[in-house]
Amino acid sequence: MTVHIESKKEDIADIVLMPGDPLRAKYIAEKFLTNYKLVNKVRNMLGYTGYYKGKLVTIFASGMGIPSIGIYSYELYKFYDVKKIIRIGTSGSFNKNVNVLDVVLSSGAFCNTYFPKLLDNKNINYIESSETLNNTIKEIATTKNIPLKVGKTITSDVFDLYASSMEEFKSNFPDDNFLAAEMEAFGLFYIAKKFKKEASCLMTVVDSFYDKKSLTSEERERSLDQMITLALDAIIM
């Protein structure tokens, strides 16, 4: 038990899927796991542990932003001996080659943040995800015929659609080669490196500066389910 997690150590698997939304964690447990149980409800940051294809998996929500995912990933890696975390979520994009409903795998995240400085007195603004875990995700995506866009991504402290302008938003980053923008991956990757653990991030693009496609609820659910099963199949390998 920690300040933010009430689970017993044996109630947390050593492999974790981490959506941002607690209700998405609940949805994943109910739809994809068997013999699952609720293992955390502190601050309504829901966590569930159950079986997927015979392997014990924990689904644990992270909340939004680096501070939130930083707390939960830190405690899971350090105090619960978690080995691998795959963040799954939605993202925006300002890359012309990325469309709505594309699935993006982050090879590394860039962020203008004081997080490493405050935590470890380090000045870092780009950190890579786990190459080993990424390779597993790519292999399984190939077998499932799921096209992946793989590359650098942005972690922002501001929801991109609320930025004063897209040009102003983009001006904070070193180049235009970033595939997607979200708010948590940098924090997760940093904590994973700190504890010599593995972390990856899969995102379904749901809004784009260039692709203005409007999604139905059915399209959104189907695309997210595809990403979720890809992450589950990868995390148990």
Residue 216 has pLDDT above 80, yes or no: no
Q: For residue 230, what are its two tokens?
A: 């890809």
Catalytic residue list: 207
Q: Where are the beta strands (DSSP E) in the chain?
A: 15-19, 34-40, 47-52, 55-60, 84-93, 103-110, 126-128, 148-155, 181-182, 198-208
Per-residue pLDDT tens over the stretch 145-159: 999 999 999 999 888
45 forms beta bridges with none
Q: Which of 45-59, 98-112, 216-230 has the lowest mean pLDDT?
A: 216-230
Q: How many CA atoms lie within 13 A of 30 on its CB side?
A: 7
Residue 97 has pLDDT above 80, yes or no: yes
Mean model confidence pLDDT for the chain: 93
Closest to 65 (Cα-Cα) out of 17, 106, 111, 23: 111
CATH superfamily for 9-235 is: Nucleoside phosphorylase domain (3.40.50.1580)
Do residues 197 and 174 touch, judged by C-beta distance below 8 A?
no
Do residues 183 and 68 touch, judged by C-beta distance below 8 A?
no
Percent of the chain, pLDDT > 90?
A: 80
* pLDDT attached to residue 210: 81
Amino acid identity of 138?
Answer: K
What three-state secondary structure class fits 176?
A: coil
Rounded CA-CA distance 124/127 in Å is 8
Mean pLDDT confidence for 87-101: 92
Do residues 221 and 21 touch, judged by C-beta distance below 8 A?
no
Return all residues near 138 (Cβ < 8 A) that are at least 6 apart. 105, 148, 150
> What separation in angstroms does the CA of 62 have from each of 86, 154, 179?
11, 18, 22
Residue of 165 and 237 predicted with greater confidence: 237
Do residues 7 and 40 touch, judged by C-beta distance below 8 A?
yes
CB atoms within 10 A of CB 166: 13
Q: Exposed, middle or buried by CB within 10 Å (0-12, 13-18, 19+), for 175?
A: exposed
* pLDDT attached to residue 60: 98
Quickly tell me which residue has 């995240």 as its tokens: 109
Quickly tell me which residue has 């594309």 as its tokens: 102
Domain boundaries, the chain: 9-235
* pLDDT attached to residue 223: 81
Q: Which span out of 96-100, 138-142, 163-167 was modeled with the highest average pLDDT?
A: 138-142
Mean pLDDT confidence for 51-72: 98
